[in-house]
Amino acid sequence: MTCEIPSESEIPYVRFPEDPKIITVGDFKVFEYVNPSEMAKYVKILSDKVKLDNFDAVLVNMKGGMFLFESLSRLQGYSKNPVKIEYHRPENAYGATIVTPVPPELRNLKLLTVDDIYDSGGVFRAIMADSGPSSEAVAFVTKTGIPNQIQIPNMTIGLKIDDKWVGGCGMDLGVPDEENTFRNYPGLVVKI
């Protein structure tokens, strides 16, 4: 199964609510963007498109991709452990800083990279270059209006959102890890 770059109309677009509900996550008051029950529907739709068993190994980028990987694994009954990698996007850049690369012994196998967000595309470009030509990628969300977004072949995206800094579903909302309750929140939220 090859995941082609989806057309704009194939990616569900969720707009930020005009009158967002204020909720509390941990010690923080935030605007609710997508509630957990709606988000579960989007995860299920994405799970129907991307089958983990079709790959030799699954790469999970940093902490952000774990929520999506664990969600897909539960839905699909997938029991293998992922290979953890760590590629960061430098602030306001289209490249990637590599902390933990794709292991050399996995390069050129059929790999799936799982991450939380596809924004500039620089991180995915670096991971895919290290993974090999038969690899694919999946991101839970992408944002609208990212200028010069790098197009990634064999990319599947769960949903499109407005260009806001979001938390939940693996994303941290810019809160230090020791205070961070957002990564495991099963919906999307925005800072007030």
Tell me if 125 is assigned to some domain.
Answer: yes
Give the contacts of 5 (CB within 8 A, at least 6 positions apart). Answer: 151, 152, 153, 154, 155
* CATH number of 30's domain: 3.40.50.2020
Range of the domain at 156: 15-191
Query: CA 55 → CA 50, 69, 102, 111, 113, distances in Å?
Result: 10, 13, 15, 5, 10
pLDDT score of 91? 80
pLDDT score of 6? 47
Tell me if 9 is assigned to some domain.
Answer: no
Tell me if 4 is assigned to some domain.
Answer: no
Confidence band (pLDDT; 50, 70, 90) for 8? Answer: low
Residue 174 scores a pLDDT above 90: no
Q: Which of 135, 120, 44 is nearest to 83 (CA)?
A: 135
pLDDT score of 108? 87
Decide which of 79 and 8 is more confident. 79
pLDDT score of 179? 66
pLDDT score of 3? 40
Tell me if 77 is assigned to some domain.
Answer: yes
Phi, psi of 86 (to 5 degrees): -145, 105
- How much is the average pLDDT of 152-173? 93
Q: In what order do the strands lie in the sheet with 166-168?
A: 22-25, 28-34, 188-191, 166-168, 171-172
pTM for this structure? 0.91
Tell me if 5 is assigned to some domain.
Answer: no
- Helix, strand, coil % in the chain, rounded to nearest 5: 25, 30, 45
pLDDT score of 4? 41
Domain count of the fold of the chain: 1
> What digits encode the pLDDT tens for the residues 37-95?
999 999 999 999 999 999 999 999 998 999 999 999 999 999 999 999 999 988 877 88
The alpha carbon dihedral of 33, 46, 40, 182 has a sign of negative
Tell me if 166 is assigned to some domain.
Answer: yes
> What digits encode the pLDDT tens for the residues 92-145?
778 899 999 999 999 989 999 999 999 999 999 999 999 988 999 999 999 998
Tell me if 7 is assigned to some domain.
Answer: no
Tell me if 8 is assigned to some domain.
Answer: no
